């Protein structure tokens, strides 16, 4: 019973490099989310998706892109890494939105140097 | 803009006592409020949900209250144990696509 799986767990990037953070869920959830968590700042929503082929911006989308070609996968892409993107990134899913509990992966710790 | 505050960044209590964590929100009218637990190096885990028309919700040693007049939720852990040490996040929810979390309170239960 995997739930939400994120890869990689850790990554160090140089300024200007690109990378894709992977997220997969096996619960057949319609909604998926990407958050970043900085110390003392709580979780900030980057992008979310309400189903395959549909994505929308959250509170802090600049510098990121997403796609949702299947129900299971929701990758997050950083095109030109900047030091301000150093953070812990969490992917989550829920059956629908509203009051539904979100199920989180264990995060990707990303450092941009 | 919406603002969510949790009483303090860190809270230390003695084992066996009741821990009370506070979540306050402004410029927001949530219909529900969720509480999550987050352990170091892990993602948040859902604990409880309370609806706006519910004053109180209980689950084992956990109790949550929701006062829409005060714009506040209280989260209580009774007979606290060292294993309850974690960061607790509140997450007000409305009927739209607002997915926000409070900054969290780090609880340490001392033996």
B43-96 pLDDT per residue, tens = 999 999 999 999 899 999 999 999 999 999 999 999 999 999 999 999 998 877
Integer Cα distance of B53 and A13 in angstroms: 48
For residue B19, the model assigns a pLDDT of: 96
Q: Distance from CA of residue A98 to its chain's centroid?
A: 19
Whether A105 contacts chain B with CB within 8 A = yes
Number of H helices, E strands in chain A: 0, 11
CB A6 within 8 A of CB A110: no
pLDDT (average), residues A43-57: 96
> In the predicted model, is pLDDT for residue A102 greater than 90?
yes
Contacts of A35 in chain B (CB under 8 A): 101
Whether A4 contacts chain B with CB within 8 A = yes
Contacts of B44 in chain A (CB under 8 A): 43, 90, 102, 104
For residue A36, the model assigns a pLDDT of: 97
B12-47 pLDDT per residue, tens = 999 999 999 999 999 888 989 999 999 999 999 999
Beta-carbon separation of B95 and A41 below 8 A: no
Residue A91 vs residues A10, A100, B35, B96: alpha-carbon distances, Å: 14, 15, 18, 20
Least Cα distance to A80 among A25, A23, A13 occurs for: A13
Beta-carbon separation of B43 and A4 below 8 A: yes
Beta-carbon separation of A106 and B42 below 8 A: yes
Rounded to a whole number, what is the distance in Å from the CA of B65 to chain A's nearest CA?
Answer: 16
Integer Cα distance of A105 and A32 in angstroms: 11
A74-93 pLDDT per residue, tens = 999 998 999 999 999 999 99
Question: In sequence order, what are the residues at sequence separation of 6 or more whose Cβ sits closer than 8 angstroms to the Cβ of residue B27?
Answer: B1, B2, B3
Contacts of A42 in chain B (CB under 8 A): 4, 89, 101-104
CB B92 within 8 A of CB B103: no
Beta-carbon separation of B49 and A99 below 8 A: yes
For residue B97, the model assigns a pLDDT of: 75
């Amino acid at each position: 019973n995997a739930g939400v799986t994120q890869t990689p767990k850790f990554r160090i990037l140089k300024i200007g490099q690109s990378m894709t953070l992977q997220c997969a869920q096996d619960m057949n959830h319609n909604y998926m989310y990407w958050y970043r968590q900085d110390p003392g700042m709580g979780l900030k929503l980057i992008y979310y998706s309400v189903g395959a082929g549909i994505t929308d911006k959250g509170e802090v989308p600049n510098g990121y892109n997403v796609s949702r070609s299947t129900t299971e996968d929701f990758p997050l892409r950083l095109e030109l890494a900047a030091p301000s993107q150093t953070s812990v990134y969490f992917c989550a899913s829920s059956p629908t939105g509203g009051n539904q509990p979100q199920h989180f992966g264990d995060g990707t710790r990303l450092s941009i140097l | 803009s919406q603002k969510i505050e949790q009483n303090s960044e860190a809270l230390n209590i003695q084992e066996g006592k009741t821990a009370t964590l506070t979540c306050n929100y402004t410029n927001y009218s949530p219909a529900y409020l969720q509480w999550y637990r987050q352990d170091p190096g892990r993602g948040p885990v859902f604990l409880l949900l309370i609806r706006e028309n519910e004053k109180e919700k209980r689950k084992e040693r956990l109790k949550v209250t929701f006062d829409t007049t005060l714009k506040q939720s209280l989260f209580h852990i009774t007979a606290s144990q060292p294993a309850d040490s974690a960061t607790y996040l509140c997450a007000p929810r409305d009927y739209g696509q607002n997915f926000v979390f409070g900054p969290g309170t780090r609880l340490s239960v001392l033996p």
